[in-house]
């Protein structure tokens, strides 16, 4: 869709006690209800995530992974959670090649890794929640049983995946009306199998997925289709509590999670860009966009070569954001000419994701991202479960000797990156932008919109974005002839902008008193508070 404009955009939402921003109104309303009923930001984030798993099934679900970056008011610190599943015991380069693939499958049973999201829900709930998991999941269960009207953008994206869903009987039965078509905007949709799976999780806890009845059903179904997971792989699922990485930028400290995610590229881009006088260039001018695009190319070159499961990286991730190293990398940015630089391989491209942000009256702030990777993930739904399994295995490479080469028990390269900002050691903003390789580009653009150009939260989310597509190709929303000419003079090749996805962002910001929230009009979302 066309980018929003200053003439007909949204306004920032303000509230005194708490704030929610998600990509779907029903998820926002459920999270708000949880907060109003005495739950905290962690309860609300899980509740919103469970609803989004139902109403945005092409983006997220019980078969995916999640990450969270949050301020714990009680502990007075920023905490990171990595709920990533690993590759299965049978997911070896040799087996994949023997099965006739020249790369890790992008869809189907061979792309499925252990789903970590339910374990992530459980870990957050156990350590930080104030309500039971059964209470938190109740609204999503009711919605799945009683049904809901599908919103317009979701209906359009769902329709685009009809052919993929028809390739798997379980997906056809679960997500297509009469096995033939996707639901239209405003049409009622129910998912009784999803409700049944959520009830099992509510009743028995996350263990039901990791060795219990639900997990056994998933593994047995995958085995019939030729998947690489075993029940032992499911039972071995463990979340990681991780130390976030940061970069100071003109008084703001921007935080990202460490690898195997791509968040470190955000910090690299900001570190390379800070010495430039971006304001004098003018917002979204050809000169300004050129510098951001070139910084992205440099950061993504490092991303493609070095970033993998942290246990398998050949370098310390912190070395990639060392000031002296970034100074040497910044020297590669030619202010007068676009560089031809190869985009990362297939393991660092497209993804479908939900991002949400929640803050409560106690001062907890949760930056939360949950995904099944590609649209409808692997495209595989084990009959009776009501949810699609992720294709996160596609995040690996088969390249021998690469730190991200697929191997049993290894975490794949991940695109998911929740963002956070502190100022003077205190929490300021939880934010995120969805969309695969668009995520780091979106993080940087939103942050610079606010720091360099003084935009308020909604203006920063609304503002037109660029997306570098690879090599010299770039798309820019609301492209004008003058801007196109300016970028082409610098050597960029302009790709069509109206058919490009620029992600969807959510943002919650702490004020001196109260909260501000923003939700991206590129999605069906809603920021709302009380």
Point out the residues that are catalytic: 353
Per residue, what are the HEC states of 36-101? HCCCCHHHHHHHHHHHHHHHCCCCCCCECEEEEEEEECCCCEEEEEEECCCCCCCCCHHHHHHCCC
Alpha-carbon distance of 160 to 182, in angstroms, equals: 9
485-494 own/partner pairs: CB under 8 Å, 24+ apart = 486/285, 486/286, 486/287, 487/286, 487/289, 487/290, 489/286, 490/286, 490/290, 490/336, 490/337, 490/338, 491/337, 491/338, 492/290, 492/293, 492/338
Alpha-carbon distance of 397 to 305, in angstroms, equals: 11
Residues for the chain: how many in total? 530
Rg (CA), the chain: 22
Q: Could you give the 3-state DSSP secondary structure of residue 246? A: strand
User: What is the residue whose two structure tokens read 């302009």?
Assistant: 494
Q: Is 379 left (phi over 0), alpha (psi -120 to 50) or beta?
A: left
Q: Indicate the burial class of 290 (C-beta count within 10 angstroms; 0-12, 13-18, 19 or more).
A: buried
Question: Is residue 12 a contact partner of residue 344, using CB atoms and an 8 Å limit?
Answer: no
């Amino acid at each position: 869709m066309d980018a929003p404009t200053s003439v007909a955009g949204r306004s920032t939402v303000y509230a005194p006690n708490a704030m929610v921003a998600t990509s779907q109104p029903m998820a926002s309303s459920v999270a708000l209800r949880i907060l109003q009923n005495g739950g905290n930001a962690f309860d609300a984030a899980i509740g919103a995530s469970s609803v989004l798993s139902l109403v945005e099934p092409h983006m997220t679900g019980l078969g995916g992974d999640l990450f969270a970056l949050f301020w714990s008011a009680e502990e007075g610190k920023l905490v990171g959670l990595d709920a990533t599943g690993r590759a299965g015991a049978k997911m070896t380069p040799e087996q994949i090649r023997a099965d006739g693939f020249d790369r890790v499958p992008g869809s189907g049973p061979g792309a499925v890794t252990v789903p970590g999201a339910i374990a992530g829900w459980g870990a957050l709930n156990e350590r930080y929640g104030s309500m039971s998991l059964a209470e938190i999941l109740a609204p999503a269960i009711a919605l799945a049983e009683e049904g809901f009207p599908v919103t317009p953008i979701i209906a359009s994206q769902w329709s685009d995946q009809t052919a993929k869903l028809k390739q798997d009987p379980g997906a056809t039965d679960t997500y297509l009306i009469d096995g033939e078509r996707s639901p239209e905007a405003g049409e009622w949709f129910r998912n009784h199998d999803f409700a049944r799976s959520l009830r099992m999780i509510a009743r028995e806890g996350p263990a039901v997925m990791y060795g219990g009845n639900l997990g056994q059903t998933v593994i047995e179904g995958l085995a019939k289709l030729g998947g690489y997971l075993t029940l032992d792989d499911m039972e071995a699922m463990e979340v990681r509590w991780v130390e976030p990485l940061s970069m100071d930028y003109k008084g703001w400290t921007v935080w990202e999670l460490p690898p195997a995610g791509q968040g470190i590229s955000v910090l690299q881009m900001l570190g390379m860009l800070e010495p430039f006088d971006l304001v004098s260039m003018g917002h979204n001018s050809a000169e300004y966009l050129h510098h951001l695009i070139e910084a992205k190319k440099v950061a993504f070159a490092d991303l493609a070569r070095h970033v993998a499961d942290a246990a398998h990286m050949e370098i310390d991730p912190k070395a990639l954001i060392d000031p002296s190293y970034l100074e040497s990398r910044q020297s590669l940015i030619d202010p007068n000419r676009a560089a031809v630089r190869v985009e990362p391989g297939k393991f660092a491209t497209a993804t479908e994701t939900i991002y949400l942000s929640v803050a409560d009256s106690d001062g907890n702030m949760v930056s939360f991202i949950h995904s099944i990777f590609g649209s409808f993930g692997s495209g595989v739904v084990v009959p009776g479960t009501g949810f699609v399994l992720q294709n996160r295995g596609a995040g690996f490479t088969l390249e021998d000797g690469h730190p991200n080469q697929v191997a049993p028990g290894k975490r794949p390269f991940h695109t998911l990156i929740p963002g956070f900002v502190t100022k003077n050691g205190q929490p300021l903003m939880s934010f995120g932008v969805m969309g695969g390789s668009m995520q780091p580009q979106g993080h940087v653009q939103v942050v610079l919109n606010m720091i360099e150009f003084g935009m308020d939260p909604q203006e920063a989310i609304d503002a037109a974005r660029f997306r570098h597509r690879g090599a010299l190709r770039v798309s820019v929303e609301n492209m004008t002839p003058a801007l196109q000419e300016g970028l082409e003079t610098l050597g960029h090749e302009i790709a069509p902008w109206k058919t490009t996805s620029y992600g969807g962002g959510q943002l919650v910001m702490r004020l001196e008193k109260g909260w501000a929230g923003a939700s991206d009009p590129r999605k069906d979302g809603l920021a709302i508070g009380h």
